[in-house]
Structure 1
Amino acid sequence: MANKEVKPEGKESSWKDFIYNPRTGEFIGRTASSWALIFLFYVVFYGFLAGMFSLTMWVMLQTLDDYTPRYRDRVANPGLMIRPSYLDIMVNSSNFEQYKKYTNNLADFLKVYNDHVQEKNKMCDEGVYTIQDDEEEKKVCQFKRSQLRQCSGLGDTTFGYAEGQPCILIKMNRVIGLKPRGDPYINCTAKRDTPLLMQYFPAEGRFDKMYFPYYGKKAQPNYVQPLVAVKLLLSEQDYNTSLTIECKVEGSDLRNNDERDKFLGRVTFRVHVTK
């Protein structure tokens, strides 16, 4: 039979005895030695778990490359993004306060493309890949802001927004090791019956091969993606209308028609300009 504590006559047990029982020396139902054994068990148990977790992480980290992701099969094709970073662009060309958020966004984005910054990078050979497999520190090819000409923001700080012909910058997302075949270029079309006049910078909206392949942020910390600027040459008939414009990368093996990913090799945005 289990031993039962004999209560002194005239005394009832209370919650105070449960917290600390001076007759048995128990604290919350256990003696000091019992609590010490439980504490020691959990120290050993959780110490073992922490050791196993640390060992597993260490082994896994030994399989990683500081410069190249181990698995890249799901990002073999780049997406396209635009600047200013809005997919719905509403412009009142006579109201600077209304559209300055777009021009400020473009100006901030292009700071790293300033000519004096890019002159620190290397002049590369046009039309050929910049292969650098043997060099630990990879060089970066120049892409000067002035190459965007009328959309550079140098001569016209409003990027055409003040005249109702806004500029849109298109960039290709970075993919390590990507070497697009062919001659990739950007082609934009308006989703309407009549074509919309546009002007591309650099000429013909091309992404030169010299900016590929990309070797990663650690190997090329100063790398900048090549850009294509599209100037929308809107006329009076195009104002006060919401224009849906789709831009695709064409002329290469890069995918641009995956219905499951609307940004894979293409980007769609809307522009509405009023005077």
Structure 2
Amino acid sequence: MSKKNGSSPALTEMPTWYAPKEKISFGKMIYDKKNGTYFGRTPKSWGQLMLFYIIFYIILAGLFATCMQGLFSALNDKTPLRQLKDSLIGTNPGLGFRPLSEETERGSVIQFDTKKPDEGQYWVSLLDDFLDSYSNRNGDKQSKICGFNSTHNSQQVCFVDIDSFGPCTKQNSYGYKNGRPCVFLKLNKIFGWEPQYYDDPQHLPDNMPIDLQEHIGNVSQLERQQIWVSCHGQHSNDKEKMGAINYYPSRGFAAYYYPFLNQPGYLSPLIAVQFEKPKVNEMVTVECRAWAKNIIYSGSNRDRMGSVVFQLYID
């Protein structure tokens, strides 16, 4: 290439990389007759690719089936794989209460006005729903009426008699119409857990309420096989405002309901606590605690164990 008379150099040849690409039509993209390709691949290439993915997914499905088979072989419909200390929930049952509102903004506050029937009916409806499964067990052949003197094997289910809750019944609106509300307590179910009872009046915890100690001393030796329950005002001013309370059918969860072994038809035992005369127009904070040698107690609001706290507010 030369430069003459100051003129610009002339391009004598076009670089290969600059050559414009051939435009490919949509039809040619589907099938290229010249190269014999479909969507850029020959039939042989497509066959190899399909064979690879077929083998790949067969192996993947085989591995998945083997893992699932191994998992299901370790599971049991009636017995959990991990129990007690090896389980996530451990060996310390929690104490719960009902009625508990589904409206999270209410928290653990049970509030109603005795002069406004709809407010009391709200809590009555919650208890009706909660006790519905217990009501439907009447006449169930799987259940047995148990007592401290009766014998039964571990696979039998002891009947929870809702007629044993004294005035805490549906017919009495659970006390929410006359300002004497009932709160039901229950322990969480833990498979295989068996309580260790405080059944010796001479060896009771020093911090156990005096009235509960006296109650244990007044019942027969056989009836001391219970997980005891006590409720009190959480703070000193709450104790003054709470008033008298009654427990139905007793102050404990009887021994014959334990252990829970996933028996068909099993329902957790209940204790109905009726507050006879809580102070009106005052917030009363109540703490209820379960008592057994192997129930660890913590009153911390952050890490509460073996107890439950709720508030009563009657307008």
Question: Contact conserved, 1:130 with 1:211, CA < 8 A, in 2?
Answer: no
Worse overlay, 100-109 or 248-257: 248-257
- 2:81 is matched with 70
Of 235, 258, 262, the residue aligned with 1:212 is 258
Q: Tell me the distance in 1 between the aligned counterparts of 2:307 and 2:298.
A: 8
Deviation at 1:14, TM superposition (A): 2.3
Q: Give the Cα separation in 2 of the matches to 1:63 and 1:186.
A: 38
- Which among 130, 145, 156 is matched to residue 139 of structure 1? 156
**Structure 1 position 129, deviation (Å):** 8.6
Classify 1:30/1:209 alpha carbon distance in 2 versus 1 (closer, same or farther; 3 Å).
Answer: same
2:257 is aligned with what amino acid? Y
Contact 1:19-1:27 within 8 A present in 2 as well:
yes
Q: Distance in 2 between matches of 1:34 and 1:115?
A: 67
Q: Describe the superposition over 1:23-82 as per-residue Cα deviations: whole angstroms up to 9, x where unpaired.
A: 223233212221222122112112111111111221232223332112122321211221
Displacement of 1:165 after TM fit?
1.6
Q: What does residue 34 of structure 1 align with?
A: 45
State whether residues 129 and 179 of structure 1, in contact with CA within 8 Å, keep that contact through their aligned partners in structure 2: no
Aligned Cα root-mean-square deviation (Å) = 2.5
Q: TM (normalized to structure 2)? A: 0.72
| Percent of aligned positions that are identical | 28
Pairs within 5 Å for 1:1-275: 12-14=22-24, 16=26, 17-72=28-83, 73=85, 74-75=88-89, 76-86=91-101, 87-114=108-135, 117=138, 120=141, 121-126=143-148, 131-132=153-154, 138-154=155-171, 156=172, 158-182=173-197, 183-194=226-237, 195=239, 196=242, 197-203=244-250, 205-216=251-262, 220-235=263-278, 238-257=279-298, 259=300, 262=303, 264-274=305-315
Match of 1:7 in 2: none
Partner of 2:210: none
> Quick one: which amino acid aligns to residue 210 of structure 1?
Y
Q: Distance in 1 between matches of 2:169 and 2:159?
A: 15
Aligned mates of 2:150, 2:229 — CA distance in 1: 19
- Residues 176/110 of structure 1: CA separation in 2 closer, same or farther (3 Å cut): same
DSSP-derived class of the 2:97 partner = strand
What SS does the corresponding residue of 1:268 show, helix, strand or coil? strand
- What's the TM-score once normalised by structure 1's chain length? 0.82
Following the alignment from structure 2 to structure 1, what is the Cα–Cα distance between the partners of residues 169 and 274? 11
Higher relative contact order (CA 8 A, sep 6+): 1
Unaligned runs of 5+ in 1: 1-9, 133-137
Q: Which amino acid in structure 1 is aligned with residue 76 of structure 2?
A: D
In structure 1, C-alpha distance between the alignment counterparts of 2:301 and 2:44, rounded to whole Å: 63
Contact map agreement 1:245 1:268 (CA 8 A) in 2: yes
The structure-2 alpha-carbon separation of the partners of 1:127 and 1:95, relative to structure 1 and needing over 3 Å to count, comes to farther
How many Å separate the matches in 2 of 1:40 and 1:227? 63
Distance 2:150 2:300 in 1: 32
User: Is contact 2:92–2:294 with CA below 8 Å preserved after alignment?
Assistant: no
How much has 1:83 moved relative to structure 2? 1.1
Q: Deviations over 1:164-199 (max 9, x none)?
A: 121111111111111101031221122232422221
Deviating more after overlay: 173-182 vs 87-96: 87-96
Structure showing greater radius of gyration is 2
Distance 1:11 1:255, change over 3 A: closer
